Copies of this chain bind each other. A is one copy, B any other.
Amino acid sequence: MSVEDQRYSDAMRVLEAGPEWLRAEIERLSRELSETTHEKIQAAEYGLVVLEEKQQLKQQYDDLEIEYETVRQELDMLKEAFGQVYSNHKKVAADGES
């Protein structure tokens, strides 16, 4: 049965149904709506928690990235200074020999 047919037959049933069936249907729909509303609120609360955790993690990542860049630059500078000392050393040694 297509969705259209389903809708049509649902509508016909509501039109033809007696008050008892209508009341039972209201009862059923109200229960289902309350349950679905509860699940919706849970999904929204969970989504907010995960969103908050993700934003905190992003902040930690950005902080670590700054730390990392700082240490990297310090290492590069020290490597360059080391290279300098080493080549000076070699020059002095060569001068000494000559």
Interface residues of A (CB under 8 A from B): 14-15, 18-19, 22-23, 25-27, 29-30, 32-33, 36-37, 39-40, 43-44, 46-47, 50-51, 53-54, 57-58, 60-61, 64-65, 67-68, 71-72, 74-75, 78-79, 81-82, 85
* Nearest-neighbor residue (CB-CB) of A30 within chain B: B29
Which residues from B are CB-within-8-Å of A53? Answer: 54
Verify A23–B32 contact, CB threshold 8 A.
Answer: no
In the assembled complex, how far is the CB of residue A18 from the closest CB belonging to chain B, in whole angstroms?
8
In the complex, chain B residues whose CB is within 8 Å of the CB of A81 = 82
Query: What 12 new A-B contacts, CB under 8 Å, besides A50-B54, A61-B61, A82-B82?
Result: A14-B23, A14-B26, A14-B27, A19-B22, A29-B30, A32-B33, A36-B36, A46-B47, A60-B61, A64-B64, A64-B65, A85-B85
